Amino acid sequence: MNKKSIIIIGAGIAGLSSAIRLRSQGHNVTVFEANSYPGGKLTAFSEQGYRFDMGPSLFTMPQYVEDLFKVAGKDISKYFSYKKKDIICNYFYEDGTTFSALANVDDFAEEASKVFNVDKTALLEYLNKSKRKYDLTASLFLEKSLHKGSTYLSKDTLKAIFNVNALDINTTLNGLNAKVFKDDRLVQLYNRFATYNGSSPYKTPGIMSMIPHLEQYYGTFIPKGGMHQITQSMFQLSKDIGVIYHFNTKVNEIVVENNKASGVLVGEDIIEADIVVSNADVVPTYRNLLPKEKAPEKILQQPRSSSALIFYWGVKKEFPELDLHNIFFSKDYPTEFDYIFNRKDVHHDPTVYINITSKDEHDDAPKGCENWFVMINVPSNTGQDWDSIIEKSRENIKHKVNRLLNVNLDDLIEYESVLDPRLIESKTQSYQGALYGASSNNKYAAFLRHPNFKSSIKNLFFCGGSVHPGGGIPLCLLSGKIVSELIENNS
């Protein structure tokens, strides 16, 4: 293989993944990042003795992180460690029901059969079907480019086609779950997995029922040092193998000559490269970095995924009934998602997610206290009055938690910081603050995402949550793998 000079725009998780793999292939890799830090959304901050992970809070499928160290020929134990959680998530319902989802699948099914109106074998069958969906589609939809003909010339593709009815692509996730389960509380529990890619369970196809399999089969984990350690370990690994970084350095344009990417414009300087990889959101990539090129408007104008409103609270109390992941469900799930995706607003009774890393990383909060990452799903930023939404949501969240935990948070919150879609957009250049680029509220969504390459411009590639295969930490890591394989095969 010819050694190439490669520029990566953006040091998000997909950019780091691409950098490690491409450098491990022998290429010279340089990363330009507009912020002063790596990781994109997966960063952290500390205030008043509390440490908070700012972005993604769920760690599954650690094998994709481990694979980066194998590729680089480094011992992961010198960079990164993690442990598996016994409890996946604690659920709280408005009717007073509480349920701890256990990691062991048999224990989970046994406990669920007691709490919900479900037979244990029916639940295990649902999870088996979820696994089958994943096994049928992972190599096609997640691990390869959907926009290369070679992807479809495989036994895996033929197997998926012959079993297409098992994928439930012609029904919604809610339609599937409501058909399988009689108990509305269990339907709501499995509907929530639509939010893992920023979609609505009432619109996204039933194939998304594969997502519970990823949690139940592979498990959920917490890195030593918190989620930010994923970023830190990948960043250190990439530097150790020779990736070069330029922080606080904004790329103004991708230079294209004769339908070929030849470098980037930084300030008034053109930095030449054989290959350019954009880890920036695909919309600003075209609008700002490729202003002279024809943009794929149909792709860029797809409806956005949901965004997030996050309150980082330093809480002067410990709650033994809570764990790392906790969900306080809304009473009216359909209305909540109607507000998010149709009304572009936030319902007065949102589902509340609380992540508390100090449950496992005790130094993340002062003794006797907890660091609460409190998040609700909200629409992407289309000009809403976010200051008003923040004020109302803060009170609605406190009211819900106070009622369900029998506390008064006003007496307990000693620190607060807020992250809303406007800040997500400005900090990470995610168009409209959408967490996952385009939504998956369409059975063809995977095919409508922007490819990891551009056929009309040679030597230009794309990675990250806004392109194939989508957002979330595992998918961003896979995005970097797909790009590195495309470049390797084109070399």
Angle, CA of 458, 436 and 62, to the nearest 5°: 90
Q: pLDDT digit string (tens) for 99-129?
A: 999 999 999 999 999 999 899 999 999 999 9
Q: Which tokens is 199 given?
A: 């979609």
- Specify the pLDDT at position 489: 86
User: 75-89, 201-215, 379-393: which has the minimum mean pLDDT?
Assistant: 201-215
pLDDT band for position 448 (cuts 50, 70, 90): confident
In this structure, the number of other CB atoms found within 10 A of the CB of residue 205 comes to: 24
Cα–Cα distance between 441 and 302 in angstroms, integer? Answer: 10
Q: Which residue has the tokens 């917490």?
A: 222
Angle, CA of 266, 476 and 422, to the nearest 5°: 65
- Specify the pLDDT at position 468: 82
What mean pLDDT comes out for the span 427-448? Answer: 84
- Residue 304 is given by DSSP the state B
Cβ atoms 336, 362 nearer than 8 A: no
Cβ atoms 391, 339 nearer than 8 A: no
- Specify the pLDDT at position 447: 64
Cβ density class 448-478: b for 16+ within 10 Å, e for less: ebbbbbbeebebbbbbbbbbbbbbbbbbbbb
State whether residue 51 is helix, strand or coil.
strand
Cα–Cα distance between 164 and 322 in angstroms, integer? Answer: 40
- Residue 173 is given by DSSP the state H
Cα–Cα distance between 180 and 406 in angstroms, integer? Answer: 34
Does the structure show a pLDDT above 70 at 149? no
Does the structure show a pLDDT above 90 at 439? no
Strand partners of residue 259: none
pLDDT band for position 89 (cuts 50, 70, 90): very high
Does the structure show a pLDDT above 60 at 147? no
Radius of gyration of the chain (CA): 22
- Specify the pLDDT at position 168: 82
Does the structure show a pLDDT above 80 at 331? yes
pLDDT over 70, % of the chain: 93
Q: Which residue has the tokens 């989970």?
A: 108
Cα–Cα distance between 311 and 265 in angstroms, integer? Answer: 37
User: 160-164, 170-174, 332-336: which has the minimum mean pLDDT?
Assistant: 160-164
User: 160-174, 287-301, 324-338, 463-477: which has the minimum mean pLDDT?
Assistant: 160-174
